[in-house]
Amino acid sequence: MSGRKNVFVTLGLALSVSLLAAALAVLLFTFHYGHLQFDLLNAVCGEVVEQDPQARRIIAAALKEYTGGNADGSAYEDVLSSLGYRASDFSVPTYRQSLWCIGAGFLAGSLLFACTWAYRNRREALRIQALAAYLEQRGTSAAPILPASPKAASGEDDFSRLEDEIYKTVTFLYQTKEAAIQARNGFAENLSNIAHQLKTPITAISLSVQMMEHDLAAKASCARETAMPPISPAVTSGCYPEQIQKQLQRLTRLEEALLLLSRIDAGTLALEKEEVDVFTLLVLAADNLQELLDASGTSVEIPEQGGMMVMADLDWTMEAVMNLMKNCLEHGGGGKILCSYAQNPLYTEILIWDEGRGFAKEDIPHLFQRFYRGRNAAKNGIGIGLALAKEIIELQNGTLRARNRPGAGALFEIRLYSH
C-alpha cells in the first residue's frame, strides 16, 4: 500500500476509536442524567405528597400522562418560570458529574487510541527486530539466503518493499562473497602450483651445480698431476657455480615465500598461540640474523624492560620480526638496530628502528604490498618480506605500521592487541 493510504487508514482508525469513545460517553451521560432526573422528580413529588397526601392521585395521573407522551396534546403551564426558576438552576448540581462523564469518555478514547497505536508500533518494531536478526545472522553465515518467516506474516506494505530490497541486496552480497572466496582460493592454489613447479628446476639446477663443482675439482686435480695447461682462474675458483648458487638461493626463498602466501590466502596457516615473552622474542629474532649482522657490522640493541607476555605464535611472530630487522639491516647502512617495547591494558607495542636515511616518501604507502621493491631495495630482495610480516601480525589480532622517525631512520611499529 502507498504511504497516503497508510495515512488514511491511520486517520480512519483514530476517527473510529474517537466516535466509539464519544458514543460510550453519551450513553454513560444519558444513563447518569436519567438517574438525576428521577431523583429530582422523586424529591419534589415526595415533598408535595408530604404536604398534601390527597395530591398523590393527581401526581400519579400527571406522571402517567407525561410518560405516555402527552397523548391529548394539551400544553403544560410553565409553572417553574412563573415561580422564578430557570433550567440552569437545576443543571448546576449535575455540572461536575457531567464533567466527570466527559473526562471518562475522553480518557477511554485516548486509551483505546494509545493501545491501537502502541500495537501498531510494536508490530513494526518486531518486524524490524526480525530483519535486524536476519542481517546479523547473515553476517555470521548462520541464516539462509532468504528468510523463512518475517515477510510471510507481515503482508504487503512499504515495509515489505524494504524487506524485499534488503533480501535482494543480501543475496547479491552473498553471491559476491562466494565469488571472491573462490577467486582467492584459486589465486592461492595457483601460487601453490607455481611454487611446486619451481621446486623441480631448482632441485635439478642444484644437483647440476654440485656435479659441476665436483668435475671442476677433479679436473683441477688431474691437471696438477699431469702438468696440463692450467684451467681458467674464474673456473677453478668456482666463480660461476657460486653465482648460480646465489640465484638458486634466491629462487628457493621465492618458492618458500609463494608457498607461505598460498597458505595465508587459503586460510590454512596454523598459528598456535601461547604466552610469549617479548624480550625473548626479540632476542631469538636477532640471534637468527647474527651471521648477516656480523657480515654488515650491525648490532642490535634490545633493552630488558621486565617480563611482558603476549599471546602469539612464537615461530611465526619471530619470522615477522626477523623480516623487519632484516629490512633495517639492508637500509640502515650499518650502525645499530634499536628496539623497545611497552604494554598497556589494550595492547603491547614493539618498536624497531634503524639509524639510516629512512624510507623514501613515495615508498611509504606501498611498503607492505607484495613484490613491491622501493627505491633503496636490496638487489637480491624479492619484495615479499614486509608483506609477509604484516599478514602474520594481522592474523594474530595485531597491526603493523611503518614511518620515518623525526630525526633519521626508518621505524616499524607493531601492536598486538589483548582482545
Per-residue pLDDT reduced to its tens digit, 279-305: 999 999 999 999 888 888 899 999 998
Whether residue 151 lies inside any domain: the answer is no
* One domain, residues 221 and 306: no
8 A C-beta contact, residue 398 and residue 264: no
Task: Among 74-78, 87-91, 266-270, name the most confident range.
Answer: 266-270
8 A C-beta contact, residue 374 and residue 402: no
Query: Distance between CA 319 and CA 392 in Å, rounded?
Result: 9
For residue 322, the surrounding DSSP H or E stretch is: helix 314-331
* One domain, residues 188 and 118: no
Whether residue 149 lies inside any domain: the answer is no
* One domain, residues 278 and 402: yes
Whether residue 147 lies inside any domain: the answer is no
* One domain, residues 280 and 387: yes
- Above 90 in pLDDT, residue 154? no
| Phi and psi angles of residue 15, each rounded to the nearest 5 degrees, phi first | -65, -40
The larger pLDDT score, comparing residue 78 to residue 292, is at 292
3-51 vs 55-67: helix crossing angle, rounded to 10: 160
Query: Distance between CA 337 and CA 125 in Å, rounded?
Result: 60
Query: Distance between CA 151 and CA 148 in Å, rounded?
Result: 8
* One domain, residues 123 and 220: no
* One domain, residues 133 and 167: no
Of 8-12, 15-19, 231-235, which range is least confident?
Answer: 231-235
Q: How many domains does the chain have?
A: 3
* One domain, residues 99 and 179: no
Task: Among 230-234, 256-260, 334-338, 350-354, name the most confident range.
Answer: 350-354
Q: Which domain holds residue 343?
A: 274-417
Whether residue 388 lies inside any domain: the answer is yes
8 A C-beta contact, residue 41 and residue 49: no
Whether residue 259 lies inside any domain: the answer is yes
Mean pLDDT for all residues in the chain: 75
* One domain, residues 250 and 289: no
* One domain, residues 296 and 411: yes
Whether residue 61 lies inside any domain: the answer is yes
Residue ending a domain, choose from 207, 237, 269: 269
* One domain, residues 105 and 53: yes
Whether residue 146 lies inside any domain: the answer is no
Report the largest interatomic distance among the alpha carbons of the chain, rounded to a whole angstrom: 174
Give Cα separations from 303 to 124, 290, 291, 354 (angstroms): 61, 17, 21, 15
Residue ending a domain, choose from 217, 247, 269: 269
Per-residue pLDDT reduced to its tens digit, 358-381: 888 888 888 888 878 777 666 666
CATH number at residue 246: 1.10.287
8 A C-beta contact, residue 112 and residue 17: yes
Query: Distance between CA 27 and CA 252 in Å, rounded?
Result: 98
Q: Which amino acid is at 92?
A: V
| Phi and psi angles of residue 237, each rounded to the nearest 5 degrees, phi first | -80, -5
* One domain, residues 160 and 119: no
Q: Which amino acid is at 302?
A: I
The larger pLDDT score, comparing residue 419 to residue 328, is at 328
Query: Distance between CA 255 and CA 384 in Å, rounded?
Result: 11
Whether residue 60 lies inside any domain: the answer is yes
DSSP string computed for 18-55: HHHHHHHHHHHHHHHHHHHHHHHHHHHHHHHHHH-TTH
Predicted pLDDT at 71: 46
* One domain, residues 163 and 133: no
Distance of CA 176 to the CA centre of its chain: 18
Give Cα separations from 103 to 97, 107, 111, 283 (angstroms): 10, 6, 12, 84
CATH number at residue 336: 3.30.565.10
Q: Which amino acid is at 389?
A: A
Predicted pLDDT at 89: 58
Residue ending a domain, choose from 269, 286, 301: 269
